[in-house]
Amino acid sequence: MNNIKIYKMTKDDIQDVLNLEKSHNIKILSKNLLENEIESKNAYYIVAKVNDNIVGYAGISYVLDNADLISIVVDKDKTNMSIATHMLNNIISFCKNNNIIEIMLEVRCSNIPAQKLYKKFGFKQISIRKKYYDNLEDAYIMKLNIKRA
Ligand SMILES: CC(C)(COP(=O)(O)OP(=O)(O)OC[C@H]1O[C@@H](n2cnc3c(N)ncnc32)[C@H](O)[C@@H]1OP(=O)(O)O)[C@@H](O)C(=O)NCCC(=O)NCCS
């Protein structure tokens, strides 16, 4: 898909973003958290739009040269169309332009699509956090080293 456009997330996007999570039966972010993150000087949240409709979002928080990928979600009906790839490219460019040299993330051991996405970008699995999700499922901790622009 080549009509994907990336924008910084605004307050007007929050409800659509929460609906995207609902479509996957996941809840990572809350309205309050998103409102704070959008205002924060230590966070960068984006939405992907196709024909003016929000089809994905992603966000990092960062301190100095280290960032955490908080979430990346694509509309359930629009996966496998490179939308997440566009968003991660945008986030990595942001990191390069802001002297961020490392992105860390956690991902469910069962979440193969997400792990494939991250590996495609060069994220490496560096450890496992046992029973990280609801005290049931393990998380892989993955890290990407970013070369300066
Ligand atoms: C993980 C997720 C963000 C991927 O988004 P996407 O837009 O479908 O990803 P892309 O189309 O850019 O694909 C990127 C790579 O991911 C992998 N991938 C994507 N969907 C896949 C699937 N269903 N099965 C296996 N691999 C998959 C492929 O390696 C793909 O690269 P390729 O097309 O070069 O082979 C999406 O599936 C999603 O929103 N999942 C639910 C939320 C989630 O789990 N988020 C991550 C944890 S917070």
pLDDT higher than threshold 90 for residue 2? no
How does residue 149 score in pLDDT terms, banded at 50, 70 and 90?
low
pLDDT exceeds cutoff 90 at 24: no
Q: Residue 73: CB within 6 Å of ligand 1?
A: yes
Residue 27 has pLDDT above 90, yes or no: no
Burial of 138: CB neighbours in 10 Å, binned 0-12, 13-18, 19+ = middle
Flag whether pLDDT at 23 surpasses 90.
Answer: no
Q: Establish whether residue 82 lines the binding site of ligand 1, counting it when its CB lies within 6 angstroms of any ligand atom.
A: yes
Q: What is the pLDDT of residue 28?
A: 83
Overall average pLDDT of the 21-46 stretch: 92
pTM: 0.95
d(CA 139, CA 13): 29
Predicted pLDDT of residue 125: 98
The full set of domains in the chain, from first to last, is 4-145 (3.40.630.30)
- The 3 state secondary structure assigned to the chain is CCCEEEEECCHHHHHHHHHHHHHCCCCCCCHHHHHHHHHCCCEEEEEEEECCEEEEEEEEEEECCEEEEEEEEECHHHCCCCHHHHHHHHHHHHHHHCCCCEEEEEEECCCHHHHHHHHHCCCEEEEEEEEEECCCEEEEEEEEECCCC
Ligand 1 pocket check for 111: Cβ under 6 Å: yes
Active site residues: 106, 118
Which atom of ligand 1 approaches the CA of 79 most closely? Answer: 8
**pLDDT > 90: what percent of the chain?**
89
Contact between residue 100 and residue 65 where contact means Cβ atoms under 8 Å apart: yes
Which atom of ligand 1 is nearest the CA belonging to 24? 41
How many Cβ atoms are within 10 Å of 36's Cβ, its own excluded? 11
